[in-house]
Chain A
Amino acid sequence: MNEWIFDIWTIITASTVACTSAILGSFLVLRKKAMVGDAISHSVLPGIVLAYIVSESRASWVMLIGAAVFGVLTNIIIEFLNKKAKMNADASIGITFTWLFAIGVILLAYFTEGGIDLDQECVLFGEISMINLDKVLVDGNLYLGPYAFWFIFPVFIIVLAFVVFGFKGLKITSFNEDYAASLGIRNGFWNYALMSLVSLSTVMSFESVGAILVVGFLVIPPASAYLLTKRLIPMIVLGCVFGILSSIIGFYFAKSFNLSISGCIVCATGIIFLVNLIYSIIRDRSRKNISIAQ
């Protein structure tokens, strides 16, 4: 099979991860909860390991349940520390995810001694260049892309549907929680629904980008878009565009210099952010000059 087909599938998979993350990440950024995404991406680790130990299977839906449970648990602990124990938001997040992540690391190290087929490196860093080793083949020769793509694609559809149908709910609870509550809208539902989807997409992205870099996908493209636009829908769409652009640039850069693909993609998101930042600073300055001139 031609190599370029693999390249295309790698880019498509990375772009799907990027779009899923950008859609959810837009709301995390606006809710000032970007670091909760970071926390979730780390603290699902014990969930994955426990699910594996209990079920002794590497079937992804089992791990998914484990991860989702810990994703929601992370959110509950953070909210508890923040609201009930009166810790600062950043301290609550710092305590929760490092602690859960440490448990995950210990569990992983302890149980992988017994020859369990779950790789620490893989969970933490992922490697999108390997995804083409697991192919979906129909009739032995019709190539339908890597398994990793078919993990993330349904999640993308679920996330898209959630944001399209729940747009009003997400918008009002992100902008003004107290007001939403006065209308009888349940903030808790929207918060946990969003966080559950963040856990889900994070776990599904592990194989391709890993637990650490997925945060870059969640936060950086929406943050870039936030600098450019003053409307919510364009912000989400632009976030996806930046994600896809980064996937393409990152992939070819990595290929030319034989580097980590996911690493290069997140670097590309960072560079795009920098360009946008410089642009927005210049734009704001020239606006100020115009208004002074007037």
Chain B
Amino acid sequence: MENKSIDVHNITVSYSGAPVLWDVDFELPTGVLAGIIGPNGSGKTTLLKTIMNIVKPVSGNVKVFDSNIDKVRNRIAYVPQRESVDWQFPISVMEVVLMGRYSGKNLFKRTTKADKEIAREALESVRMLEFKDRQISELSGGQQQRVFIARALAQKADLYFMDEPFAGVDMATEKTILEILLKLKDEGKTVLLVHHDLRTVREFFDYTILLNTRLVAAGKTAEVLTEENLNSAYGARLTLLEEVGKEIKKKDFPLREKDFDDK
């Protein structure tokens, strides 16, 4: 494969003895939207964190842009799961987005005007600029997610890791995030995101990594999402899931959190 963005080589990760990822091995080209999908507890978040070396693998190694991740940290950006932080933390929207301009090297330096300008642009592109002085607890779930996306955009990276950016967001946010993903792809950036909603995988992603502790399949979405692969990843649960999905579609159940802005 030419122009590899990520090369995951035989990684195994375990938490206190039990394997969370087992011998996972795949490559990803640059300039694609790629989704990691799999059932709950299949190691999706762990895979993302292992690629960034936040979680250390027991064995195997990862290359990002053909080198050690520590050498290319200025080229990657990360959107952690929204639930992973305390939203009561006494900090403003702008301060969170400015964190996208931090690095291991400039931590002791002052934030520059250029950094602030980049942060403003990032907030603008997720339509959150008017909320820049709000405390983060005063935001709706979707708005919080957009702040996290803005922080990643402020990093001006080439490779974006996003952990469930569509989880529990309103329609407006989902639309904004989708626009941003497509824009990033147009600019030749690579996005790897953890996703749990099987129904939308085909619309969103060029590449799919199907995971269930082991790698079930990785490659172009159409080739990966075969019935056989899905059954092997989700087992009998998939049919149940599909049934539920059909029911929901039929009855038009409200799936998403109500948008705070609609009030």
Contact = CB atoms under 8 A, between A and B. Distances in A.
A171 to B, nearest CB: 7
A231 B90 contact: yes
A84 B103 CA distance: 28
B107 interface: yes
Nearest to B99: A172
Contact of A230 (B99, B103, B137, B161): B137
A173 to B, nearest CB: 10
Interface string A149-187: 000000000000000011011011011101111111110
B254 interface: no
At the interface, is chain A mostly helix, strand, loop or mixed?
A: helix
B104 A178 contact: no
Given A178-B49, A182-B73, A231 B103 contact: no
Interface residues of A, number: 29
A182 B135 contact: no
Given A178-B80, A184-B70, A166 B52 contact: no
Contacts of A226: 90
B85 interface: yes
Nearest to A230: B135
B162 to A, nearest CB: 12
Contacts of B92: 230-231
Nearest to A165: B108
B107 A185 contact: yes
Interface of B: 16, 49, 52-54, 70, 73, 76-78, 80, 84-86, 89-92, 95-96, 99, 102-104, 107-108, 111, 135, 137, 151, 161
A168 B99 CA distance: 8
Contacts, number: 80
Contacts of A73: none
B90 A179 contact: no
A182 B76 contact: yes
A164 B249 CA distance: 54
Interface string A262-285: 000000000000000000000000
Interface of A: 30, 32, 84, 86, 165-166, 168-169, 171-172, 174-176, 178-186, 226, 229-232, 234-235
Contacts of A178: 49, 54, 78, 80, 84
Given A181-B54, A182-B78, A230-B135, A235 B90 contact: yes
10 contacts: A175-B85, A175-B86, A183-B78, A183-B104, A184-B70, A185-B104, A230-B90, A230-B92, A231-B91, A235-B90
A181 B54 CA distance: 6
Contacts of B78: 178-179, 182-183
B104 A182 contact: no
A166 B77 CA distance: 23
B80 A179 contact: yes
Contacts of B104: 183-186
B103 A183 contact: yes
